[in-house]
């Protein structure tokens, strides 16, 4: 026999146990100790409550029929009677001796399994083990589940399950909890993205966090900025098929009581709609839709903007599942304002604000002025400049108005495609649309080079808008202005701007003029929130545009005292 070969099995080796290594013997010895410890624990009170996942029992078939979901699960808290045999025989008697104390029903896709085990199943097992010596123990889940909420009715239990709650349904013996069919415990698991930087409202010198789709996280972001008991939060449920939570926020003592009552009444009287997915649908249902392209409510995903609005006497609405907040009332000035003004020196902030106003004016007026000069009123320009601009249109086969409308539509198509394209190809699409297509259109005599310059100025001016719906409104407004200018020249240009101004002045947002504080003129509003930016120490009064209940921002001597104690006792944290 060569080395390493196994010996031939002979009758002498049959029945002899193979040689065990020390490690194997140690593992077997440890396993036997664990088994003896479990048997000793069973003998403490003669019963062993267990949690056993299984199919939905027959008594809960109504729950499966109500949900029609295959991810419905049931964990049964069982107890074995002291007479149950522990040996291998008597399996039938053991099955008969088990008693189900609780049925814990939940949806696997909606609950946190670890939280369910630690906060629901284990406490119920411990309670069942302590009360087991009694022949018919009276078990109350509220003794070990402080957050358990009694629930009545099958529909209420089904609604709790789809919201991420676990239903604790006790097996009620005669005379025990006959009036309470079950309890609901919140163990939901909310999958979503973490707090990140805003993608629709980028700012250079401001806070970087933005709202997410979880209402609880959004309220947390606001409360960390407004640590005051005056921040009132009212919760509503909207939607018939899938109810969603809506949070109504305002500052008590700052927001006007009439405004609070008006918003509360509209939320309570809104129609019973199937599903409310965003703040835009909530606005249309509760506050009514408008045919104007200009937004009468402000949508923002920045908590800093909401905090500044609440401090000015406005109110906010947050919809669960939407990363945007609705602010009421709103004005044109508030829509075209960024938070950077609070982090920059007043001259710089005023310069940026005036640049934004100038950009929006150029974006609306540049195409119309080009059509006026080239087609209707060429005498507005000096002869030399007129000849230079006219030379760029040499070879273009159609009129100026058709050229302008064709290129404006092309610009909007390219802009919309770049906004909605994936980030990996958005920049490439912008370069192709702006440079390659523009240069090709000039070489093919489809547009003049001056028209390409006008398009570039218009695009840049539109992007200066601080609010995306406001930029869409200005993109739409330039078309009727171009049409009026092509028909009546410079007079049509003036009449179109007058009509636009009349339309903006006639708009209202919760009974607040849309063009306030410039139309009507309010001196304090112009100095505190208009085109003029004053230092913080000179803005002690809140703008009277929103009619705040408390018009004073602060009083001297209350803040900034050296050595003043923190009333919350957390000055050292």
Q: What are the tens digits of pLDDT across the range 7-18?
A: 444 444 444 444
User: Is the pTM above the cut of 0.95?
Assistant: no
Q: What are the tokens at 113? A: 């399994």
Name the pLDDT band for 249 (thresholds 50, 70, 90): very high
C-alpha neighbours within 13 Å on the C-beta side of residue 30: 6
The C-alpha atoms of residue 280 and residue 511 are separated, in whole angstroms, by 19
The C-alpha atoms of residue 253 and residue 388 are separated, in whole angstroms, by 63
DSSP letters, 18-73, are PPPPHHHHHHHHHHHHHHHHHHHHHTTTS---EEEEESPPGGGHHHHHHH--TTEE
C-alpha neighbours within 13 Å on the C-beta side of residue 342: 12
The C-alpha atoms of residue 412 and residue 404 are separated, in whole angstroms, by 12
Q: What are the tokens at 233? A: 């939060």
pLDDT digits (tens, 9 = 90+) for 154-190: 888 888 888 889 999 877 654 444 445 789 999 888 7
Output the CA–CA distances (angstroms, integers) from residue 521 to 24, 349, 506, in the order listed: 90, 22, 14
DSSP class of residue 373?
I
Which stretch of 139-148, 283-292, 464-473 has the lowest confidence by average pLDDT? 139-148
Is residue 566 predicted with pLDDT exceeding 80? no
Helix (H) or strand (E) holding 300: strand 298-300
Predicted local distance difference test score (pLDDT) of residue 260: 94
More confident residue, 344 or 496: 496
Output the CA–CA distances (angstroms, integers) from residue 525 to 24, 159, 334, 458, 506, in the order listed: 84, 48, 11, 30, 19
* Portion of the chain with pLDDT greater than 70, in percent: 80
- As a whole number, mean pLDDT of residues 389-402 equals 89
* Portion of the chain with pLDDT greater than 90, in percent: 27
Q: Alpha-carbon Rg of the chain, whole angstroms?
A: 36
pLDDT digits (tens, 9 = 90+) for 158-167: 888 888 899 9
| CB-CB neighbours of 404 under 10 Å | 26
With beta carbons less than 8 A apart as the criterion, state whether 172 and 178 touch: yes
With beta carbons less than 8 A apart as the criterion, state whether 139 and 127 touch: yes
C-alpha neighbours within 13 Å on the C-beta side of residue 533: 19
Long-range contact set of residues 25-30: C-beta below 8 Å, sequence gap at least 24: none
Which stretch of 60-64, 146-150, 379-383, 552-556 has the lowest confidence by average pLDDT? 552-556
DSSP class of residue 489?
T
Name the pLDDT band for 474 (thresholds 50, 70, 90): very high
Query: 510: closest CA among 361, 330, 343?
Result: 330
């Amino acid at each position: 026999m060569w080395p390493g070969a196994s010996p031939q099995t002979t009758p002498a080796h049959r029945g002899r146990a193979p040689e065990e290594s020390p490690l194997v013997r140690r593992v077997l010895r440890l396993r036997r100790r664990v088994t003896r410890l479990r048997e000793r624990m069973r003998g403490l009170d003669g019963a062993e409550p267990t949690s056993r996942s299984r199919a939905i029992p027959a008594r809960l078939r109504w729950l499966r029929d109500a949900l029609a979901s295959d991810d419905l699960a049931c964990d049964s808290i069982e107890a074995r009677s002291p007479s149950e045999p522990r040996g291998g025989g008597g399996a039938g008697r053991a099955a008969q001796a088990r008693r189900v104390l609780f049925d814990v029903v939940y949806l696997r896709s909606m609950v946190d399994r670890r939280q369910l085990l630690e906060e629901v199943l284990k406490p119920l097992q411990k309670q069942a083990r302590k009360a087991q010596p009694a022949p018919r123990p009276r078990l109350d889940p509220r003794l070990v589940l402080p957050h358990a909420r009694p629930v009545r009715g099958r529909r209420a239990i089904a609604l709790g399950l789809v919201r991420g709650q676990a239903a604790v349904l006790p097996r009620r013996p005669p005379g025990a909890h006959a009036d309470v069919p079950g309890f609901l415990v919140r163990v939901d698991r909310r999958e979503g993205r973490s707090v990140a930087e805003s993608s629709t409202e980028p700012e250079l010198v401001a806070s970087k966090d933005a709202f997410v789709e979880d209402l609880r996280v959004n309220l947390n972001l606001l409360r960390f900025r407004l640590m005051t008991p005056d921040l009132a939060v009212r919760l509503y449920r909207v939607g018939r098929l899938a109810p969603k939570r809506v949070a109504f926020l305002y500052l008590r003592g700052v927001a006007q009581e009439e405004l609070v009552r008006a918003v509360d009444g509209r939320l309570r009287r809104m129609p019973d709609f199937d599903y409310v997915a965003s703040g835009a649908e909530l606005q249309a249902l509760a506050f009514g839709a408008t045919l104007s392209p200009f937004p009468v409510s402000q949508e923002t995903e920045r908590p800093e903007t909401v905090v500044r609005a609440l401090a000015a006497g406005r109110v906010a609405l947050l919809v669960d599942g939407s990363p945007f907040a609705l602010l009421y009332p709103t004005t044109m000035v508030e829509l075209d304002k960024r938070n950077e003004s609070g982090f920059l020196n007043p001259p710089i902030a005023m310069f940026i604000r005036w640049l934004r106003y100038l950009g929006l004016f150029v974006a609306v007026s540049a195409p119309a002025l080009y059509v006026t000069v080239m087609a209707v009123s060429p005498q507005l320009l000096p002869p030399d400049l007129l000849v230079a601009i006219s030379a760029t249109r040499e070879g273009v086969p159609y009129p100026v108005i058709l050229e302008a409308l064709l290129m404006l539509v092309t610009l909007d198509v390219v802009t919309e495609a770049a906004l909605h394209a994936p980030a990996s190809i958005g920049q490439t699409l912008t370069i192709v649309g702006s440079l390659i297509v523009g240069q090709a259109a000039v070489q093919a005599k489809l547009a003049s080079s001056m028209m390409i310059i006008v398009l570039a100025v218009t695009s840049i001016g539109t992007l200066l808008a601080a609010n995306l719906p406001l930029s869409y409104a200005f993109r739409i407004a330039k078309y009727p202005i171009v049409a009026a200018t092509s028909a009546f020249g410079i007079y049509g240009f003036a009449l179109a701007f007058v009509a636009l101004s009349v339309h903006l002045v006639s708009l209202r947002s919760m009974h607040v003029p849309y063009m306030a504080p410039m139309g009507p003129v309010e001196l304090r509003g112009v100095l505190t929130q208009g085109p003029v930016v004053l230092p913080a120490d000179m803005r002690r009064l809140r703008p009277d545009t929103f009619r705040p209940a408390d018009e004073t921002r602060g009083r001297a001597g209350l803040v900034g005292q050296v050595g003043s104690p923190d009333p919350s006792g957390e000055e050292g944290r």
